[in-house]
Chains A and B, each alone.
Chain A
């Protein structure tokens, strides 16, 4: 192999690895805060990507309607929980967040759907739609189960993944889609060619990681999220609602997922079920990071991306096998290093 090919593969690996890093970080975040292993993370990716691609090609994405439908269910949940002590303010707030907001977004989406809006509008709408789906998903599927065991949450997570994937097929069909590049153009440095899209991927990944770092390090809500992850009871005793932390975690995860999708869909054709495999690679990185370490997860994600790029060159048929086999030595080492862990009871 010559250096040029190697550099190409490295570049390819880092571009994919950057995406896996974002997804891995989101998985770690959601798990640390809510104990949910977020299998539907991949659906956030496909929903973001395909909503974006549909809008850009002048179609109406079904996800906008899904958001309104889920919002309505979330509102019903809110009403049911508060049935014994209904406050006017509570209801108004719930209506605004769960029904009025998605209705407005749906109206805006309908308005833009036929007329191939500019890329920025497509991105904004896609992010907004998927962010709402993420929030409502937490309200409907995970908040009512928040006190249960990791296993129950995992089963719910699998169920949600299957449901969202099925809905994805319904909304976007079995055909794959590609979206327009966020940033067009390209330049070459030596033998390497950098497209505007790959620069966008690096830029957004770095910006997001720095942003998250600032959010967790400096803001009260970021610290509250960390506190919930470190000690759930301690956080509650400080007056931090577990549901609030869960909402923020799911909001971040869905936005990160959608953004990743929007960044990938100009590079590769995505299908309604492509997200699962992409999410799983972020999951491999998260597992290498022990589901707790953010820096380790980011480094592991780059490693996963590079291994994937090289194995697709040498043995493209086995590329997934090789990537997922990375897990075995890691889990083995971890199980040797760590003492038996009992599930946290609270």
Chain B
């Protein structure tokens, strides 16, 4: 399988402080890849840099093309989408306008169809389509942020902490939808502190610590790793094998 996204030897720095050091990462087609790690490990920084929000030293290729010279907007047009941790919604505009703008780079005729798909995925958004985004609950805002990103017809959707601050029942819903996305042909790069849930649905996983990947492999293997379990999953596996 050829990789949809491939990152090699990536460094991201805030001034002189390197927040991400020589990271390599691959996301294949129809794959959910997760990056787990503690708060401050550099996960959000890495996603921002892949999206072009922060400058990245190293190589990022998407769908076979080097992204180095492309702006955020061009990366969006190529099919790379990011749902940032803070969601960055248009809070004074209604749900429908937020979604419509998500398809800014898409043909109008296709945008209509995408909106129906998003509403099918998140029926709650359809009920609230005339409500201002800023007045939605946290879970609904997360759905809207994902919906807006999906309106751009991404090939790869990067999700930054989609479960942060949400009720468990909504978290379950969002993780279910992430697996549905994979089934519909969208790859997902998922950054999560809720490692247990993320590893359960992911195909591949990377464990990040202090700006570096310390472990990578199949998500099921990572989940079974005792060291990972102890530090990130909050429990010990019975009879888990050490990688």
If A223-B93, A227-B93 touch, does A239 touch B88 (CB 8 Å cutoff)?
Answer: no
Residue in A closest to B88 when the chains form the complex, CB atoms: A234
Nearest-neighbour CB distance to chain A for B51, whole angstroms, equals 7
Cα–Cα, bound, A234→B90 (Å) = 7
Q: Is the CB of A231 within 8 A of B90?
A: yes
Q: How far is the CA of A239 from the CA of B151 in the complex (A)?
A: 11
Task: Give Cα distance in the complex from A230 to B108, angstroms.
Answer: 23
Q: Which of B2-10, B97-105, B168-176, B216-224 contacts A (4 or more CB under 8 A)?
A: B97-105
Q: Contact flags (1/0) for B90-117 with A, using CB distance below 8 Å?
A: 1111000100111011001000000000
CA distance A150 to B126 in the complex (A): 38
Using A85-B69, A220-B100, A227-B93 as known contacts, say yes or no to A237 and B105 having CB atoms under 8 A apart. Answer: no
Contact A231 B91 (CB under 8 A): yes
Q: Find A227's partner among B72, B76, B90, B152 (CB 8 Å cutoff).
A: B90
Task: Tell whether, in the assembled complex, residue A240 and residue B84 are in contact, meaning their CB atoms are under 8 Å apart.
Answer: no
Cβ of A241 within 8 Å of any chain B Cβ, yes or no, is yes
A226 CA / B92 CA spacing, docked (Å): 9
- Chain A residues in 8 Å Cβ range of B76: 236-239
When distances are taken between beta carbons in the complex, the residues of chain B under 8 Å from A241 are 71, 73
- Most chain B Cβ neighbours within 10 Å, of A84, A230, A234, A236: A234
Least CB separation from A230: chain B residue: B90
A120–B152 Cα distance when bound, in Å, is 43
Would B101 and A238 count as touching, CB distance under 8 A?
yes
Within the complex, the shortest CB–CB distance from B65 to chain A, in Å, comes to 12
Q: Does A207 contact B (CB under 8 A)?
A: no
Q: A227-B90, A230-B93, A231-B91 are in contact. Are A236 and B73 (CB under 8 A)?
A: yes
Cβ-defined contact, B88 with A240, below 8 A: no
In the bound complex, what is the Cα–Cα distance between A249 and B90 (angstroms)? Answer: 18
Whether B149 sits at the interface, judged by CB under 8 Å, is: yes
Is B77 in the interface zone, CB < 8 Å from A? yes
What is the 8 Å Cβ interface bit string for chain A, positions 198-221, against chain B (1 contact, 0 not)?
A: 000000000000000000000010
Q: Is A181 an interface residue (CB 8 A)?
A: no
Q: Which residues of B contact A227 (CB under 8 A)?
A: 90, 93, 97, 101
Write the nearest CB–CB distance from B12 to chain A, whole angstroms: 17
Closest to B148 in A: A238
| A-B interface contact total, Cβ < 8 Å | 66
Contact for B101 among A84, A85, A224, A233, CB less than 8 A = A224
A234 to B101, CA, bound (A): 10
Task: Determine the distance from Cα of A238 to Cα of B69 in the docked complex, in whole angstroms.
Answer: 19
Shortest Cβ distance from A234 into chain B, in angstroms? 3
A224 contacts B93, CB within 8 Å?
A: no
Is B214 in the interface zone, CB < 8 Å from A? no
- Give the CA-CA distance A24 to B152 in the complex, in Å: 35
Give complex CA distance A241, B71 in Å: 9
**Chain B residues with CB below 8 A from A235, complex form:** 90, 101
Closest A residue to B48 by beta carbon equals A233
A231 CA to B93 CA in the complex, in Å?
A: 11
Q: Which residues does chain A contribute within 8 Å of B71, judged by CB atoms?
A: 236, 241
Contact B89 A239 (CB under 8 A): no
Q: CB-CB contacts of A122-150 with B at 8 A, as 1s and 0s?
A: 00000000000000000000000000000
- Given A231-B89, A234-B89, A224-B104 contact (CB < 8 Å): yes
Interface 0/1 of B50-84, CB less than 8 Å to A = 01010000000000000001011100110001101
- Alpha-carbon separation in the docked complex, A239 to B77 (Å): 7
A54-81 contact mask (Cβ, 8 Å, vs B): 1 or 0:
0000000000000000000000000000
Closest chain B residue to A242, Cβ basis: B73
Query: In the complex the two chains form, is A240's CB within 8 Å of B89's CB?
Result: no
Question: In the assembled complex, which residues on chain B have CB atoms less than 8 Å from the CB atom of A84?
Answer: 69
Residues of A within 8 A of B105 (CB): 239
> B89 to chain A: which residues have CB within 8 Å?
231, 234
Residues 219-264 of A contacting B (Cβ, < 8 Å):
220, 223-224, 226-227, 230-231, 233-241
Q: Which B residues touch A220, using CB under 8 A?
A: 100-101, 104, 108
Q: Could you tell me the distance in whole angstroms from the C-beta of B195 to the nearest C-beta in chain A?
A: 25
Whether B84 contacts A238 by the Cβ 8 Å rule is: no
**Using a CB-CB cutoff of 8 Å, which residues 117-155 of chain B contact chain A?**
148-149, 151-152
A237:B92 contact, CB within 8 angstroms: no
Are B104 and A233 touching (Cβ within 8 A)? no
Contacts of B88 in A (CB 8 A): 231, 233-234, 237
**B148 A230 Cβ-Cβ under 8 A:** no
Residue of B nearest to A82 (CB): B69
Taking Cβ atoms with an 8 Å cutoff, the residues of B that contact A are 51, 53, 69, 71-73, 76-77, 81-82, 84, 87-93, 97, 100-102, 104-105, 108, 148-149, 151-152
* Closest 10 pairs between A and B when the two form their complex, measured CB to CB: A234-B88, A239-B76, A239-B105, A236-B72, A230-B90, A227-B90, A239-B104, A238-B101, A241-B73, A233-B88
Given contacts A231-B89, A238-B102, A241-B71, 9 further A-B contacts (CB under 8 A): A223-B93, A226-B92, A226-B93, A233-B53, A233-B84, A235-B90, A237-B51, A237-B76, A239-B77
17 residue pairs from A and B, CB less than 8 Å apart: A220-B104, A223-B93, A223-B97, A223-B101, A224-B101, A226-B92, A227-B93, A230-B90, A230-B91, A230-B93, A231-B90, A234-B89, A237-B84, A239-B73, A239-B104, A240-B104, A241-B73
